[in-house]
Copies of this chain bind each other. A is one copy, B any other.
Amino acid sequence: MKTTRNTTAKTAVTEILSKSKTALSHSEIYKLTADLCNRVTIYRILDRLVNDDIVHKIVDLDGTVKYAKCHHSHPVTIHNHAHFSCENCHEITCLESVKPSYIIPHNYKVTDINFTLSGLCPNCLNSNI
């Protein structure tokens, strides 16, 4: 059985995601680590964090992949809350309180959900673009 280890790089990535109010892409995280480790290492760390349900992966409407730390009181396997993707500033934020309700098709087995709302976030809406 694979045991997971805590390394300097993994701790740094977790820290970065904990502190960030918005979801971050691989390249954003890589820049923030400032040459602490290799580009590939960040990919592998993110994979592990996602597998361990410490971080979740969000994809916006353009196909941009971002990562955010979960703020659940206890670990959950399905992250069924909404995310908001701003078309102007391209920030992705978790809307923990917004949960979709829907009728599950009986012949499908649902194990994961991606619910992303897109448009203008409060910041960009105020600075009337």
Give A contacts to B, CB under 8 Å. Answer: 57, 59-65, 82, 84, 87, 95, 98-105, 107-122, 125
Contact = CB atoms under 8 A, between A and B. Distances in A.
B107 A117 contact: no
Contacts of A105: 84, 95, 98
Nearest to A106: B122
A88 B38 CA distance: 31
Given A98-B103, A108-B84, A120-B108, A61 B61 contact: no
Contact of A108 (B62, B110, B121): B121
Q: How many identical subunits does the complex contain?
A: 2
Contact of A102 (B99, B109, B110): B99
Q: Which of A59, A107, A108, A110 has the most CB of B within 10 A?
A: A108
Contact of A113 (B87, B107, B118, B120): B118
A120 B105 CA distance: 11
A2 to B, nearest CB: 21
Given A84-B105, A101-B101, A108-B125, 7 more contacts: A59-B63, A63-B64, A87-B111, A98-B102, A100-B101, A107-B125, A110-B119
